[in-house]
Each structure stands twice: as C-alpha cells, then as structure tokens.
Chain A
Amino acid sequence: MSTPAPQAAAGNIATFNILHGFPEALVRGMRSSFLGDQDYHHLTQCETLDDVRLNLTETDYGDAIADFNAITPAVLQKAAIEKLVTEFKYLRTQSVEPLATFLDFITYEYMIENVMLLLKGALSGRDINELIEQCHPLGMFKESTMRSIPTFENSARGYADLYQTVLVDTPVGPYFAMFLQESSEHQGTDARHVLEEVEIEIIKSSLIKYWIEDFYHFVQKIGGETADIMGELLRVRADTNAINITLNSFGTPLNEPAMRSSDRKRLYPAVGHLYPAGTTELTEVSNEEELGRVLDLFPQYAAIWSMHASGGDKSIDDVFYERDVQSLELAFESQFHFGVFYAYAKLKEQEIRNLVWISECILQQQKDEINKFVPVFSFHSPWRGSKRR
C-alpha cells in the first residue's frame, strides 16, 4: 500500500500558522489542563473515592465528573475518556488538511482496537451491546458497521467476507486488505495452525504494524518539523511494538522456530531504530536472555531492558510508559508542527491511566503502591533538572 501524499503542505515556520495556527494554539492551551504535581499530591493523600472526587472538582476534570454522585475507577475512566474525546473532536472540527488527515490517523489506532475487541468478544460469545459499550469512543464506526463486525466466522474465508462486506468502507479497510493479502501469500506454509486467541492477536499486531508504517510515511511526506518530531515518536513506537511482540511471543506457538521467521518476523514494523538490523536479529531470539543480548546493541533500549532484567519493581510496560511520557513531552518543546496533537492525546491517556491507578489503589487500600504512576509535565520527573522552580 502506498501512503497518499498530504493534500496540502503543512507549511514552514513562516506559513504554518496560516492554516494551523489556531488549532495548534488550542492544543497548546489545553496543555494547562494537565494535572500538576500539587493535584497528584492531593489525590494520593485521599482516603476515599469521595475525597478523590472532591479534589478533582478543583481541576479541569470538574465538569466531566460533576454529574456523578459517586465515582468508581471505571466511572472515572469513562468520564475522563469522554472528556478527551470531546476535546479531540473539537480540535478535529477546527482543522483543515493536512492536519485533518493527521488527526484521523490518530483515531485509526482506536478503530483497529475496536474491531479487534469486537472480534474477540464475538469469539467468546459476548453480548454485542456490552461490547460496543466497551469500545473506545475515538474509534467508533457507524452503528450498523459496529453491529455487523461480530457476525463473521472465524476462518480465512470469514475474514475475507468481513473485509468485503463491512470493513472495506472504513478507514482501516486498507490495512485489513493488506493483512488478507499477506496471509494468503503465506497460505502454503504449514504454520497456520495457531490457537484462535493468538490468531486475533496476530491480526491486531499486523494491522497496528501497517498503521504505524502508513502513519510514518504520511508524516514523512508532510515533511519539515512534523517529519522530524512525529517521525521520531513513531520510530520509537514501532520499536516498542517490536520488542513487546517478541517478549509476548515467548511461550506461545509464535516462538516456535518455524513460526519465528515466517509469522513473527512479519509483525515487526518496517520503520524505527531497530529496523532493519535489529528486527532481523529479533527474528532469531527464543528467550528473554537472547532478547536482552540483541537489545544491548541499542543503547536506548539496553537501559530499558536492564531495568526489566534486573527484576526491579517496575515492569517493562512501566519503563516504556515513562520513556513515552518523556519523549511526548519533548513534542511540546517546539512549535509549528503536528506532533503536539499526537502527544496531547497520548499524554492525556497516560493521565487517565494515572487517575485510574490512583483510584484503584485507594479503593483497594493499597497505599504503598499508590505512587507508582508516571506524572505528566511533572517538575519531579527524573529527566527534568530539579533546579527549575
């Protein structure tokens, strides 16, 4: 699939504001809505969820939770995501090409996740209304599309039908088409007998891989500052995916020698710092030790891996989250590019994760765990010099 060129130029430092000055300033203004160190401090001191709610009314989340008399972590998450989606849709309505396409690209990830959620839910025979309720509101399709996704049958034929009748009209259709084409090319190999559960994960990883590549090529075509900053964010994202796929494949059929080079290799995105030398080596690894040896060759991942390997109290996901927050915050350090929109959405997601974590800890009385979150734009972040302020 070739990524279509952006319909207009994003503009350089002197012309960017002509089309995108307003939405850019909007999203930078929204930066002030992130919870500060003070807010987190107050939240972690709370004894009950009612206290949490009271503290949040002082913040930007005040309006979002005003309608709820009592909050639970799930309610809080739903309200916070609703708020993020409202803000995102507002930005989307204020944007013109090529920013509009850029923002749409951000939503494709959630569309893929929703399709996969529906497929997985249908496999385990869950109720469709309940599934739609769980879908991320940024990645919603038309109601009729949502309802017809789970009616597929779980076979290569079924996926083809699903694509031809339902997904072909959606923005993520092309990714699905590529997946079908690639798996039909690999039909000859005998490595297709994977568990159904793994099959869904493989489809999801493939679609996300195509999405990252497509998005990456799109920002490269936009060029300028956007290509630099957003390109770096997506390269890092691609590497994270490659490492996680490898790590999660240990102990699954995907790690069998025959599958490694045929199926697992296909899931590695063809962009990023690890591509191509690193991903070629990742194809060969069969356990954590070998994975660590490959990552040692890449200084930025060697540090992350050593934190995972040393068995500290941080999981590799936590370390990745921390690294993501650091690199996403950097997108706010320069002006006249699109990277901030992506960074804003992702940092807000991190904030929502933090809120859910804190409220879960309070609910379950796990006060000693409560500080294990990654604050956004915190003055106490390890990468920020403590001298400031």
Chain B
Amino acid sequence: MGDNSATCSSVYCNQGWAEVLTHMSPYGYANFGVAFGLGLSIVGAAWGIWLTGSSLVGAAVKAPRIRSKNLISVIFCEATAIYGVIMAIILTNKIKEPENPDYYLEEGWDYNGYYYAGYGMFSAGLSVGLTNIASGVSVGIAGSSCAIADAQDASLFVKILIVEIFASALGIFGIIVGIIQSNACTFPIAALG
C-alpha cells in the first residue's frame, strides 16, 4: 500500500462495520429485504412440509384413509410460503429507481427518506422471513402429530387442526407487522422541491 492518495482520510472513514453498513446502497438493502423475506419464508414452509410429509406417508401405511385429509397440513405449511411471496411482491413494488438515473444523486435529494426506505424494507423482509420460519416449523410439528393422531383416532383430526391454525397465525402476525413496517417506506424518485 505505497500509494496513500486513494485512502479515505475523512474521520468517518474506516470506522468498522458501522461504516460498511451505512454505506450500502438503500436499494441494496431493500432488495435484500425482499430476498430474506421470500427466502426464509420458503425455508420455513419447506421445513414444515418435510416434517409433516414424512410422518404422513408413514402413518398412511396402516391407515390409508388419512392421506388426502392430512394434505391440509401440507397446505397450511404452503401458506407460509405464500405469505413470503405476498410480502416480496409488496416490497418489490415499492422499490423505484430515480427519474433521472445518473452516477450521482441530484442536488437536494431526500437522504432521510432514502435511507428510511432502505432500512425499513430490509427489516420488513427480515420480520416476515423469521416469523415464517418459526411458523412453518411449528405448523410442521403440529401437522406431523396430526397425521399420527388421525391414523389412530379420526376424531382427533379437527382438534389438532385448530392447533395448526394457531401455529399458522404466527406467520400472519409477521406479515401484518411487515406490511405496517414497509408502509411508510417510499423511495424518493426525484430531488425535493
């Protein structure tokens, strides 16, 4: 590193991770929000379907009548992925590029709104993604027990289904909060006034 001229000499430079994170583009944050929201939701859904599905096929060997009925558990897990897709669509629609794309942002650019939108959408994506993992695993465990219980005693199916509905509601909490979080996030498309 003989040449020092390229090194930033400002006091705000090279201050560690805080600097890295604040210097990432809000557009980048927003798109990562979409990625995490969708990706983690689908991890949750896939996990849940795995937990339910393996028990379902096993329990259906001795009690084949449960096989169609218990697909509801799989659908509940699938709903978790749909929450992630809904959130991803909402967030993607909020990402707007500037009216006059240029190398530099225009004079008088609304930096507060710009960063707010980026962080807000990133967090909204994480909220939805993490709640949906928890919800998906939870629905999956309940669904697995549901299949096994239904195979023994058909009257238990509806009772355990209610447990599954509550587990599935966890994901709805996530998506509601995610929508509220992202509501105020609007990317500025032009300079103020």
Interface residues of A (CB under 8 A from B): 13-14, 17-18, 21-26, 28-33, 335
Contact = CB atoms under 8 A, between A and B. Distances in A.
Contact of B151 (A13, A22, A23, A29): A29
Given A28-B151, A29-B151, A22 B63 contact: no
Contacts of A33: 62
A14 B56 CA distance: 16
B91 interface: no
Contact of A25 (B47, B50, B58, B137): B58
A14 B141 contact: yes
Contacts of A24: 55, 58
A22 B54 contact: yes
Given A29-B59, A29-B62, A17 B54 contact: yes
Contact of B58 (A18, A22, A32): A22
Contact of B50 (A18, A30, A335): A18
A278 to B, nearest CB: 37
6 contacts: A17-B55, A18-B50, A22-B58, A25-B59, A28-B148, A32-B151
A25 B148 contact: yes
Contacts of B50: 17-18, 21
A284 B51 CA distance: 52
Given A14-B140, A25-B55, 12 more contacts: A13-B141, A14-B137, A17-B55, A21-B51, A21-B53, A22-B57, A25-B147, A25-B151, A26-B58, A29-B58, A31-B152, A335-B145
A33 B151 CA distance: 11
Contacts of B152: 28, 31-32
A177 B104 CA distance: 81
Given A14-B141, A22-B54, A25-B55, A30 B148 contact: no
Contacts of A32: 62-63, 151-152
Given A32-B151, A335-B144, A25 B54 contact: yes
Contacts of B53: 21
B177 interface: no
Contacts of B148: 25, 28-29, 335
Contacts of A13: 141
A110 to B, nearest CB: 24
Contacts of A26: 58-59, 61-62
B43 to A, nearest CB: 12
B133 to A, nearest CB: 10
A235 to B, nearest CB: 26
Nearest to A94: B58
Nearest to A26: B58
B86 to A, nearest CB: 25
Instruction: Choose among A17, A31, A32, A335 the residue with the greatest number of B CB atoms under 10 Å from its CB.
Output: A17
A193 B50 CA distance: 61
B56 A25 contact: yes
Contacts of A31: 152
A251 B53 CA distance: 58
The 4 closest A-B pairs by CB, nearest first: A25-B58, A21-B54, A29-B62, A25-B55
A290 to B, nearest CB: 46
